[in-house]
Chain A
Amino acid sequence: MATGATKPFGLFRNMSAKIAAIPMIFAAMVVFFGGTIWTVVYSFTDSKLLPRTNWVGFEQYERLWGTNRWLISIENLMIYGVCSLFFSLVIGFLLAALLDQKIRFENTFRTIFLYPFALSFIVTGLIWQWLLNPEFGIQSIIRDLGWTSFAFDPLYNQDIVIYGVLVAGLWQGTGLIMVLMLAGLRGIDQDIWKASRVDGIPSWKTYLFIVIPMMRPVFITTLVIIASGIVKVFDLVVAQTSGGPGIASEVPAKFVYDTMFLRQNLGQGFAASTMMLLAVLIVIIPWAYLEFGGKKRG
Chain B
Amino acid sequence: MKTLASLLTATALTATSAQAVDLEVTHWWTSGGEAAAVAEFAKAFTEGTDNTWVDGAIAGGGGTARPVMISRITGGDPMGATQFNHGQQALELVEAGLMLDLTDVAEAEGWKDLVNPSSLLDSCTVDGRIYCVPVNIHSPQWIWLSNGAYEKVGLPVPTNWDEFVASGPALREAGIVPLAMGNQAWQSNLAFDAMAVAIAGPDAWVDVVSNKNVELARGDVYAKVFQAAADARSLREGSNVQDWNQATNMVITGEAGGQIMGDWAQGEFAVAEKVAGEDYTCLPGLGVNEVISTGGDAFYFPKNDDPAIEAAQKELASVMMSKAVQVAFNLKKGSLPVRGDVDLSAANDCMKKGLAILAAGNILPGLDQSLSPDAVGQIEDLMTEFWASESITAEDAQSRYADIIESAG
The chain A residues found within 8 Å of chain B, CB to CB, are 48-50, 63, 67-69, 134-135, 156, 158, 242-248, 258-259, 261-265, 268
Contact = CB atoms under 8 A, between A and B. Distances in A.
B280 interface: no
A268 B374 CA distance: 10
B166 interface: no
Given A48-B92, A264-B372, A268-B374, A246 B384 contact: yes
B234 to A, nearest CB: 15
B373 A262 contact: yes
B388 A263 contact: no
A246 B385 contact: yes
Interface of B: 63, 66-67, 70-71, 74, 89, 91-93, 96, 183-184, 240, 242, 372-374, 376-378, 381-382, 384-389, 400, 407
Contacts of A262: 63, 66-67, 373, 377
Residue of A48, A69, A246 with most partner-chain B CB within 10 A: A246
Nearest to A260: B67
A258 B381 CA distance: 11
Contacts of B66: 261-262
Nearest to A133: B240
Given A69-B381, A247-B381, A264-B92, 7 more contacts: A48-B372, A135-B240, A245-B388, A246-B387, A247-B385, A248-B388, A265-B377
Contact of B388 (A69, A134, A244, A268): A244
Contact of B183 (A135, A245, A265, A268): A245
A-B residue pairs, 10 tightest by C-beta? A246-B388, A261-B67, A263-B377, A49-B92, A265-B374, A245-B388, A263-B374, A264-B373, A246-B385, A69-B381
A91 B91 CA distance: 52
B377 A258 contact: yes
B21 to A, nearest CB: 28
Nearest to B63: A262
Nearest to B89: A264
30 contacts: A48-B92, A63-B407, A68-B381, A68-B382, A68-B385, A69-B385, A135-B240, A158-B388, A158-B389, A242-B184, A244-B388, A245-B389, A246-B386, A246-B388, A246-B389, A247-B381, A247-B388, A248-B388, A259-B377, A261-B66, A261-B67, A262-B66, A263-B377, A263-B378, A264-B89, A264-B372, A265-B373, A265-B374, A265-B377, A268-B374
Contacts of A265: 373-374, 377
Contacts of B388: 158, 244-248
Contacts of A68: 381-382, 385, 400
B207 to A, nearest CB: 24
Residue of A135, A158, A264 with most partner-chain B CB within 10 A: A264
B74 A50 contact: yes
A125 B95 CA distance: 39
A135 B382 CA distance: 28
Nearest to A135: B240
A80 B93 CA distance: 38
B240 A156 contact: yes
A243 B89 CA distance: 23
A49 B377 contact: no
A35 to B, nearest CB: 15
A158 to B, nearest CB: 6
B380 to A, nearest CB: 9
Nearest to B67: A261
Given A156-B240, A244-B183, A263 B373 contact: yes
Nearest to B387: A246
Nearest to B390: A158
A50 B93 CA distance: 8
Contacts of B378: 67, 263
Contacts of A243: 384
Contacts of B376: 263
Given A48-B92, A50-B96, A246-B388, A261 B183 contact: no
Given A244-B384, A264-B374, A49 B407 contact: no
Contacts of A268: 374
Contacts of B71: 261
A247 B70 contact: no
Contact of B70 (A67, A134, A135, A261): A261
A63 B400 CA distance: 13
B71 to A, nearest CB: 8
B333 to A, nearest CB: 24
A50 B92 contact: yes
B310 to A, nearest CB: 22
Contacts of A242: 184, 242
Contacts of A263: 373-374, 376-378
Nearest to A48: B92
A264 B400 CA distance: 21
A48 B96 contact: no
Nearest to A153: B240
Contacts of A48: 92, 372, 374
A261 B183 CA distance: 21
Nearest to B95: A50
Nearest to B74: A50
A265 B93 CA distance: 13
A49 to B, nearest CB: 4
Contacts of B92: 48-50, 264
Contacts of A247: 381, 384-385, 388
Contacts of B242: 242
Nearest to A66: B403
Contact of B93 (A49, A69, A259, A261): A49
Nearest to B88: A264
Contacts of A261: 66-67, 70-71
Given A259-B377, A264-B373, A49 B70 contact: yes
A48 B95 CA distance: 12
B391 to A, nearest CB: 8
A263 B372 CA distance: 8
A243 B376 CA distance: 17
A246 B397 CA distance: 14
